[in-house]
């Protein structure tokens, strides 16, 4: 990646921390010694920085199923609630295993939530069963995600361009099989149950959880990653990097310009996630900026200048309730 205008602005973390996060985005299961060799520091330094990022930066490593590659539906829910009830509803949703990226928006009266139902029954049970019967839910808008332009295995940290291509190449897993069609089998569930809690779980830990041999665990995880069925991801507090403002942008683009606008948005430094969606708007974006003024500069500048954009609705996150697989501690 070329030079980036994104800069680290934090009194707590420095460029080496950013490089470590970038290395974990490249391969979150890479050993500390491999990361240290790529970054030119000691193993002890990487271990110490990793622990500090976990304790003070909210760092967690997770292995996730890639719904897009697996052909599974994903939905973005916008749940409008009566005053003083949104937090309780958001926290209840956060306890479900089929939800992630939950936040409060619209002055605390709207819950934004991504869902990843593993069966049609999960989707029906949530949208047609539980939510409509939930007291104080005023309105539910469900937007099916149609095409991912950015996100998933492509993390926002890489837009800082903290690593060279050679460093990224040194960190990527090697020895993996030729990618095959993305597919999960029932016997993968115990393996993924551990990795969705701790993406750096050791092979002996995975062996004990699955009851399989260590060689089987290594081969199966390598095959799942190579096929794209799963990928490693990291979650962290963006405010520790100096980017506390997070907003969802609901964008309407002219149908003929939908793909070109989506591709352009994916290249913007402020965007952490971009997807085409069904519903009144046809694109949804997660944007991250240093300040409210920075968000305005993005809306009126790079985004506002895109040909084909007809309308933008901005909903800043007031509080993150859940990032990937676990609720955010209060």
Count other Cβ atoms within 10 Å, centred on residue 14: 11
Q: At what angle do helices 43-56 and 15-26 cross, to 10 degrees?
A: 90
In this structure, what DSSP letter does residue 329 have? P
Sign of the CA dihedral with 43 first, then 47, 52, and 57 last: positive
Which residues is 252 bridged to in the sheet?
A: 311
Distance (Å, whole) CA 281 – CA 263: 16
Distance (Å, whole) CA 220 – CA 215: 9
pLDDT of residue 1: 39
Distance (Å, whole) CA 209 – CA 192: 10
Q: Per-residue DSSP letters for 236-265?
A: --GGGGT--EEEEEEEEE-GGGHHHHHHHH
pLDDT of residue 181: 76
Q: Per-residue DSSP letters for 250-309?
A: EEEE-GGGHHHHHHHHHTSTTEEEEEEESSSSSEEEEEEESSHHHHHHHIIIIITT-TTE
| Rg of the chain on CA atoms, in Å | 20
Write the CA distances from 267 to 66, 139, 292, integer angstroms: 21, 33, 21
Count other Cβ atoms within 10 Å, centred on residue 212: 16
Distance (Å, whole) CA 69 – CA 116: 13
The candidate with the shortest Cα–Cα distance to 283, out of 163, 146, 170, 171, is 146
| 81 phi and psi angles, rounded to 5 deg | -125, 160
Residue 260 burial (10 A CB sphere; 0-12, 13-18, 19+): middle
- Give mean pLDDT in consecutive 10-residue pieces for the chain, a chain of 330 residues: 62 89 94 96 97 94 91 90 90 88 88 80 68 85 94 93 94 64 89 95 96 95 92 92 94 97 98 95 96 97 96 93 77
Distance (Å, whole) CA 123 – CA 75: 9
Q: Which two tokens stand for residue 217?
A: 């665990």
Q: Going by C-beta distance under 8 Å and a sequence separation of 6 or more, which residues neighbour residue 204? A: 214
Which structural domains are found in the chain, ordered by start?
A: 15-66+154-235 (1.10.10.2890), 68-151+244-322 (3.30.70.920)
pLDDT of residue 326: 72
pLDDT of residue 119: 66
Which residues is 309 bridged to in the sheet?
A: 253
Distance (Å, whole) CA 295 – CA 287: 8
- Spell out the alpha helix ranges (H) of 163-248: 165-171, 189-195, 203-210, 214-227
Write the CA distances from 268 to 6, 47, 207, 242, 277, integer angstroms: 11, 32, 41, 18, 19
| 237 phi and psi angles, rounded to 5 deg | -90, 110
């Amino acid at each position: 990646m070329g030079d980036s205008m994104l800069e680290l602005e934090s009194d707590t973390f420095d460029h080496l921390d950013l490089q470590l996060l970038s290395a974990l985005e490249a391969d979150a299961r890479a050993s500390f010694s491999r990361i240290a060799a790529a970054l030119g520091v000691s193993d002890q330094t990487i271990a110490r920085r990793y622990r500090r990022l976990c304790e003070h930066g909210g760092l967690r490593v997770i292995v996730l199923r890639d719904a897009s590659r697996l052909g599974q539906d994903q939905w973005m829910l916008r749940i409008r609630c009566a005053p003083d009830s949104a937090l309780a509803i958001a926290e209840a949703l956060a306890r479900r295993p089929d939800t992630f990226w939950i936040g409060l928006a619209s002055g605390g009266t709207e819950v934004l939530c991504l869902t990843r139902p593993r069966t049609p029954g999960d989707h029906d049970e949530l949208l047609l069963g539980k939510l409509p019967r939930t007291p104080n839910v005023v309105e539910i808008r469900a937007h099916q995600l149609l095409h991912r332009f950015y996100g998933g295995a492509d993390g926002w940290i890489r837009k800082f361009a903290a690593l060279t291509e050679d460093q990224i190449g040194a960190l990527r897993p090697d020895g993996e099989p030729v990618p095959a069609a993305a597919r999960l089998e029932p016997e993968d569930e115990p393996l993924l149950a551990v990795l969705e809690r701790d993406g750096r779980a050791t092979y002996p830990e995975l062996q004990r959880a699955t009851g399989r041999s260590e060689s089987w665990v290594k081969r199966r995880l390598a095959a799942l990653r190579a096929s794209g069925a799963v990928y490693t991801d990291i979650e962290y507090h963006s405010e520790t990097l100096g980017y506390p403002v997070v907003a969802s942008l609901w964008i309407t683009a002219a149908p003929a310009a939908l793909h070109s606008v989506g591709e352009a948005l994916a290249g913007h430094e402020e965007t952490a996630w971009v997807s085409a969606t069904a519903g009144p708007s046809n694109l949804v974006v997660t944007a991250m900026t240093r300040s409210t003024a920075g968000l305005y500069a993005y809306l009126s500048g790079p985004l506002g200048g895109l040909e084909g954009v007809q309308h933008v609705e901005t909903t800043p996150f007031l509080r993150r309730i859940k990032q990937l697989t676990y609720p955010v501690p209060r």
